[in-house]
Amino acid sequence: MNDPVNEVMLRSLTPGVLGILVRRGADFAAAEDAVQDALVEAVRVWPADPPRDPKGWLVTVAWRKFLDATRADAARRRREDLLDEEPVPGPAPAVDDTLQLYFLCAHPSLTPSSAVALTLRAVGGLTTRQIASAYLVPEATMAQRISRAKRTVAGVRFDQPGDVATVLRVCYLIFNEGYSGDVDLAAEAIRITRQLSATIDHPEVAGLLALMLLHHARRAARTAPDGSLVPLAEQDRARWDTRSIAEGVEILQAALARDRLGEYQAQAAIAALHADAPAAAETDWVQIVEWYDELARLTDSPVVRLNRAVAVGEADGPRAGLAALAALDDALPRHTAVAAYLHERDGDLAMAARLYAEAAHRASNLAERDHLTRQAARLNALLR
């Protein structure tokens, strides 16, 4: 898929085409393979001979690919009644099974990593190679993961209701992977969530889309030219994507107006308050603490309470933040880093330097470790 316009369009058509094949009687795994084959054929054929009805073309070719594969498999002769009458090519049916595909790919029986991989392939239209590259694993490893996931959901009824919350968690997992390899997973997650938002009218779907847009808007400012992390307070806000911020805020406001608050809407509201501040010093931390209180009630998450402690430290002073932090388990990820930051703000540079170094040792990724090490070195230099 060399043409990015065609690639985006093909990916957007994938779930609808897959849904039609499954509705016609194809099992999910075989249908998904056939759709992938049709996408490859489209890349080969369309530049010279673009179809009038792209979706109908994909349905016709994918169905033929499915029939060819099924006829070649002696173990599937029980499908002969299905094969006797091939549907007449024509416009794709109006029935949209996209939402059911989201539910199927995020089925509770799947592990989070398998659900992510299956969603990226079946709903997102990515190839196994692209997904493997994004997750920095061998293609054969990812192929096995996807095959296992397809076998796991093979017996799941396609018309069973699904859990929107599970689908949203999978989309958010994809978004948080960010960028690696030749696929921008954050951008893919936004595209997939937009597709979901167009399929289901749900305020939390809108809340997640708004959250993604607001976070993604800050992406260009998050790293320095040397690749080091730039904390939110030090970011060049002129580099933030104001169009994405405006869109995210508009989507969020519409969702909040429905008065069905959920965790993604609350997170998006916090992100919107950060985006609304012209400078870090002008951030409305009091209102952010209030939103964290709402979020804590919705999720009862220790990580939310950790982030709330930071906000309390900004709104009410570092000692108030440290008091809020003291109520939390110090084994929480980033607990030590937060303690270091609050102690520095309280003027205890020696304690802060020691905690930054300890947090660097515990850091889960190289960029975070490097940032915390730099913070410890900065304070140690001041203490000499």
Name the nearest CA neighbour of 61 among 91, 39, 80, 77: 39
Residue 189 one-letter amino acid: A
pLDDT of residue 375: 97
Question: Which amino acid does the sequence have at 150?
Answer: K
Neighbours of 254 (CB within 10 A): 12
pTM: 0.83
- pLDDT for 313 equals 98
Work out the end-to-end distance of the chain between its first and last CA atoms, rounded to an integer number of angstroms: 57
Q: What is the pLDDT of residue 182?
A: 66
Tell the residue number behind the tokens 């029986």, with chain if given: 109
Number of neighbouring beta carbons within 10 Å of residue 210: 29
Decide if 251 contacts 209 (C-beta within 8 A). Answer: yes
Output the pLDDT for position 92: 45
With 0-12 / 13-18 / 19 or more C-beta atoms within 10 angstroms meaning exposed / middle / buried, residue 167 is buried
Judge whether 197 and 206 are in contact, CB under 8 Å: yes
Q: Which of 345, 339, 384 is nearest to 358 (CA)?
A: 339
Give the largest CA-CA distance in the chain. Answer: 84
Q: Which two tokens stand for residue 18?
A: 């897959």
Predicted confidence at residue 156, as pLDDT, reads: 75
Phi, psi of 179 (to 5 degrees): -125, 130
Pair 12, 195: CB distance under 8 Å:
yes
Between vectors from CA 367 to CA 226 and to CA 240, what angle results, nearest 5°? 65
Residue by residue, pLDDT tens for the chain (384 residues) are 445 446 778 888 998 899 899 888 888 889 999 999 999 899 899 988 889 999 999 999 999 999 988 877 644 455 444 444 444 444 444 445 678 888 888 888 888 889 999 999 998 888 898 898 888 889 999 999 999 999 988 877 665 556 889 899 999 989 988 665 567 889 989 999 998 999 899 999 999 999 999 999 999 999 999 889 999 999 999 999 999 999 999 999 999 999 999 999 999 999 999 999 999 999 999 999 999 999 999 998 999 999 999 999 999 999 999 999 999 999 999 999 999 999 999 999 999 999 999 999 999 888 899 999 999 999 999 998
Would you list the DSSP string of 80-126? Answer: HHHHSSPPPP-SPPS---HHHHHHHHT-TTS-HHHHHHHIIIIIT--
The H-assigned helical ranges of 153-284 are 164-177, 185-199, 203-216, 242-256, 263-276
